[in-house]
Chains A and B, each alone.
Chain A
Amino acid sequence: MSGAADEAAAIGGPARTARVAAAEQAAGRRRWAIIVLRVLVGVGFIWLWHHASGNWVDTMLISSPEAVGLRLWHWTLDGTLWSNLSVTLYATAWGFAIGCVIGFSLGLLFGRYTLVAEVFDPYITAIYSIPKIALAPLFIIWFGIGIESKVAVSAAIVFFVIFLNTYTGVREVNPLYVNVTRIMGGSEADVLRHVIVPSAASWVITGLKVSVPYALVGTVIGEFMSSNRGIGFLINQATGLFNIASVYAGIIVLAVVGAVINTALKHIEAHVLRWQR
């Protein structure tokens, strides 16, 4: 088996050598350096903001880090933050979930049945080109000013992204894998589970990553237009009162939420797509 041994050696085999340890150490150092630099950039930004406000730019326009920090602190203490954030998150999560399930199912269906896809194609393209935000007033008429209309806006946005990505992913599946899996004895359900879904996964995950911020945007836009709770409502209300610190506080909360969700998705992606090198 000399050939096999050579090949094993060539790709490193299962052994943990000193080289492996050194490479891991170098990677670890780099990760730490990046974290430190990121913190420095953040601190530098706040410092710049602090100096700009009141000196170079009117506080009415950019508030100040102290005022915004204080507002966030008060919101946290008096429960304003959580009672509004939970409404926004709840609507986003539902919109996201509904949009994903419907988009994924229809994407699979259309991807498997080419005729259906070809018939519907011009209509899908047409609906896709409508800015979904433009549907928000319509949804408010249909579902009222409660949470349902916000769920509908974000679901509509998420649906299209997931649908189109799933559809593309399914269409890209190599038919060789499908045929070979069937010959080995796989049922249609096996083909779906072992070939089509994993093959489309990189497309679907890209869709998820793109659509999470959209889901949040959809909810917040809905809240801007009409509502009495939620982060979008807080921002809108503060804008009306020229309470600039609250506007920035609301925006920062949204930014943090978006970043947290995206980081989580990145980890999920790295796990699901670990087979790609």
Chain B
Amino acid sequence: MTASIAISAVRKSYVSRGREILALDRVDLDIAEGEFVAFVGPSGCGKSTLMNMIAGILSTEEGRITHEGKPVNGINRNVGYMTQQDAVLPWRTVAENVALPLRFHGMGAAARAARVTEMLAAVGLEGFGRSFPAELSGGMRKRVALAQLLAYEPRTLLMDEPFGALDAQLKLVMQEQLLAIWRARRQTVVFVTHDLAEAVTLAQRVVVFSGRPGRIKQIETVALPEERDVFRVRFLPEFEVAYTRLWEALAPEIQRGAAA
């Protein structure tokens, strides 16, 4: 397997109000093509920063990131990115938002409409195509963003806490959908979450970041089969092993953050 995303010796700091905040330091990670990787870590450890650098929104300060063999330099149009903050355009309807990337990639109007209907059904938003985002709840807007991301089939998916705003049951349903799509299409997925159980349920590898400055503290390969049932996987012994080991790595980082 070749690396889809190669991150080597990346460092990033922010300068704001005369102070330098080191967000990420010495991050090395290779993500294989078709791999599903989850990032976990205390909040503020630089997960979103790293995602923004893979997407080319931010530049690295030191080190380099390559995607599909090319160094990321400026906006990376070969990834699909579901950002942590709401990025659905408020002045476009739900259907228009989902259709936007299809349109940018030259899909015809009829094919677009069919695809939009299909994707809205997949995320449980049938009948909301003509609503504006302001008329939806936060969780519904997240699902619009998900439908938009999956509709145009980018080969690499960057997802920053995509299911954070959903209730527990709906979250499971969405996880199931995402896994089914991933098994069928084999995209490379980088999935940020603060929910350790979600990380173990979905990912093949889970990367634990330390508290600020974010460094990779541990990488855990999840010994679960790819054919997983998200509703039952948590009762398997492999789940418990991975969860416990990850929690042992993560807990001190979270406590350190809480004490600071």
For A184, the closest partner residue in chain B by CB is: B101
- Flag if A2 contacts B134 (CB, 8 Å): no
- Flag if B77 contacts A1 (CB, 8 Å): no
What is the bound-complex CA distance between A187 and B103, given in angstroms? 11
- Flag if B170 contacts A183 (CB, 8 Å): no
User: Is A42's beta carbon under 8 Å from chain B?
Assistant: no
| CB within 8 Å for A3 and B170 given contacts A11-B136, A14-B127, A275-B134 | yes
Overall SS of chain A's interface: helix
For B106, the closest partner residue in chain A by CB is: A185
User: Is A258's beta carbon under 8 Å from chain B?
Assistant: no
Q: Which listed segment binds B: A47-55, A89-97, A162-170, A192-200? A: A192-200
Q: List CB contacts (< 8 Å) of A14-65 with chain B.
A: 14
What is the bound-complex CA distance between A159 and B104, given in angstroms? 34
Overall SS of chain B's interface: loop
Q: List CB contacts (< 8 Å) of A98-129 with chain B.
A: none
Say how far A17's CB is from chain B's closest CB, in angstroms.
15
User: Is B16's beta carbon under 8 Å from chain A?
Assistant: no
- Flag if B125 contacts A176 (CB, 8 Å): no
Interface 0/1 of A136-180, CB less than 8 Å to B? 000000000000000000000000000000000000000011011
What is the bound-complex CA distance between A7 and B170, given in angstroms? 11
- Flag if A4 contacts B100 (CB, 8 Å): no
What is the bound-complex CA distance between A276 and B128, given in angstroms? 17
User: Is A277's beta carbon under 8 Å from chain B?
Assistant: yes
User: Is B252's beta carbon under 8 Å from chain A?
Assistant: no
Q: Most chain-B Cβ atoms within 10 A of its Cβ — which of A3, A13, A182, A277? A: A3
Residues of A with C-beta under 8 A to B92: 194, 198, 275
Q: List CB contacts (< 8 Å) of B76-97 with chain A.
A: 76-77, 79-81, 83, 85, 87, 89-93
Q: Which of B89, B104, B170 contacts A185 (CB 8 A)?
A: B104
Q: List CB contacts (< 8 Å) of B164-210 with chain A.
A: 166-167, 169-170, 173
- Flag if A276 contacts B125 (CB, 8 Å): no
What is the bound-complex CA distance between A186 and B104, given in angstroms? 6
- Flag if A183 contacts B81 (CB, 8 Å): yes
Interface size class of B (residues with CB under 8 A): 35 or more
What is the bound-complex CA distance between A8 and B139, given in angstroms? 11
| CB within 8 Å for A1 and B173 given contacts A11-B135, A179-B75 | yes
Residues of B with C-beta under 8 A to A182: 75, 77
- Flag if A198 contacts B91 (CB, 8 Å): yes
Residues of B with C-beta under 8 A to A277: 132, 134-135
What is the bound-complex CA distance between A276 and B135, given in angstroms? 9
User: Is A270's beta carbon under 8 Å from chain B?
Assistant: no
- Flag if B77 contacts A183 (CB, 8 Å): yes
- Flag if B132 contacts A180 (CB, 8 Å): no
- Flag if B104 contacts A187 (CB, 8 Å): yes
- Flag if B89 contacts A194 (CB, 8 Å): yes
- Flag if B124 contacts A4 (CB, 8 Å): yes
- Flag if A183 contacts B55 (CB, 8 Å): yes
- Flag if B100 contacts A184 (CB, 8 Å): yes
User: Is A274's beta carbon under 8 Å from chain B?
Assistant: yes
User: Is B27's beta carbon under 8 Å from chain A?
Assistant: no
12 other A-B residue contacts (CB within 8 Å) besides A8-B128, A194-B92, A275-B134: A1-B170, A3-B124, A4-B125, A11-B136, A176-B83, A180-B83, A182-B77, A184-B80, A185-B77, A186-B104, A198-B89, A199-B91
Residues in A lying within 8 Å of B, measured CB to CB = 1-4, 7-8, 10-11, 13-14, 176-177, 179-187, 190, 194-195, 198-199, 201, 274-277
Residues in B lying within 8 Å of A, measured CB to CB = 55-57, 75-77, 79-81, 83, 85, 87, 89-93, 100-101, 104-105, 124-125, 127-128, 132-137, 139-140, 148, 152, 166-167, 169-170, 173
Those 8 A-B pairs whose CB atoms lie nearest each other, nearest first: A3-B170, A185-B104, A4-B124, A184-B101, A198-B91, A180-B87, A275-B132, A277-B134
